[in-house]
Amino acid sequence: MDLGIRGKWAVVCAASKGLGYSCAQALADEGVNIVINARGAPDLEAAAQRLKLRNPEGEVITVVGDITDSSIRQALVDAAPQVDILINNAGGPKPGNFREWTDQEWRAAIDTNMLAPIELIKSVIDSMAGRGFGRIINITSGAVKAPLDALGLSTSVRCGLTGFVAGLARQKDFASRNTTINNILPGAFKTERLENTFQVAAERSGKTVNAMAESRLATIPAGRFGDPAEFAALCAFLCSHQAAYVTGQNILIDGGAYPGIF
Ligand code: NAP
């Protein structure tokens, strides 16, 4: 299927590795020009080179810096002649025990996983609607639907973003102008983040990292962790011409781990 987005411009936040990088790769494979961001310059440049190889005709621009910094967000938006596609992403708050989370850690989680995406949406959505094409994807978490106690920081602030998006996506100003906003909720995908989660859980419980991975696997009917390329294929579809009628949705991709009917 041709997704009909060749030549469009995408800003993909937090995209030197993991799910963000895979989304950038899937979009580059569709002929989309990419602006990618991460804090570490060497990994980001290496990611940009790999993307360039996949789409030699397209542009790949890097913006190094923390997505919570308003000047970095502005640089990301300014780097593209126009932003047709925005993929909001950032590192997740660290797992832990709620008794130990400080005021500063709560505020950092709000800045990173709620306010940074909201500010980016604010800066691009009116011009997307004005041009009659816009696709915004927020990478959130399966924990928004099925909370895990150790991920309370993540769940709480992502629910804030989810609530905001639920209202915004349904505004006629956007939905009637081919400008959609959807959230993708990953279950357990094979990335550095997942390994870190197992490490922290192992330290907390006194068990091994392998034991933590095995016990998580036991909760996934698919019997394996997700491949970031599978996540990215869903993301690319939601960014497509064909997905114009899908907006305001929270789409879980978790190998069947969520136990509910809806
Ligand atoms: P990852 O493998 O750790 O990759 C994170 C990427 O984001 C890296 O490129 C990192 O590069 C960049 N980054 C982190 N913080 C940033 C910031 N403040 N500003 C700019 N770039 C930043 O993580 P992932 O597994 O792909 O996860 C992506 C998101 O999905 C996270 O929010 C995570 O919590 C969520 N999630 C993941 C899973 C999973 O199973 N993997 C499940 C549920 C939710 P630098 O460090 O160089 O900045």
Give yes or no for a contact between 113 and 154, defined as CB atoms under 8 angstroms apart: yes
The residue whose CA has the least distance to atom 13 of ligand 1 is 14
Nearest ligand 1 atom to the CA of 16 is 9
> Domain 9-187+227-253, what architecture?
3-Layer(aba) Sandwich (3.40)
From 72, 184, 193, the mutation candidate for ligand 1 (largest count of ligand atoms within 8 A of CB) is: 193
Per-residue model confidence (pLDDT) at position 96 = 87
pLDDT reading at 27 higher than 90:
yes
Give yes or no for a contact between 71 and 116, defined as CB atoms under 8 angstroms apart: no
pLDDT reading at 72 higher than 90:
yes
pTM higher than the cut 0.85: yes
From 22, 23, 34, 39, the mutation candidate for ligand 1 (largest count of ligand atoms within 8 A of CB) is: 39
pLDDT reading at 148 higher than 90:
no
Confidence category of residue 157, pLDDT binned at 50, 70, 90? very high
Per-residue model confidence (pLDDT) at position 61 = 98
Model confidence over 84-107: pLDDT tens digits?
Answer: 999 999 999 988 899 999 999 999
Nearest ligand 1 atom to the CA of 19 is 26
pLDDT reading at 47 higher than 90:
yes
CA distances in angstroms from 82 to 76, 86, 129, 177, listed in the order given: 11, 11, 12, 16
Residue 163 has phi, psi (to 5 degrees) of -65, -45
CB proximity list for 228: less than 8 A, separation 6 or greater: 18, 19, 21, 22, 189, 190, 191
Stronger pLDDT, 148 or 33, i.e. the higher one: 33
Per-residue model confidence (pLDDT) at position 90 = 98
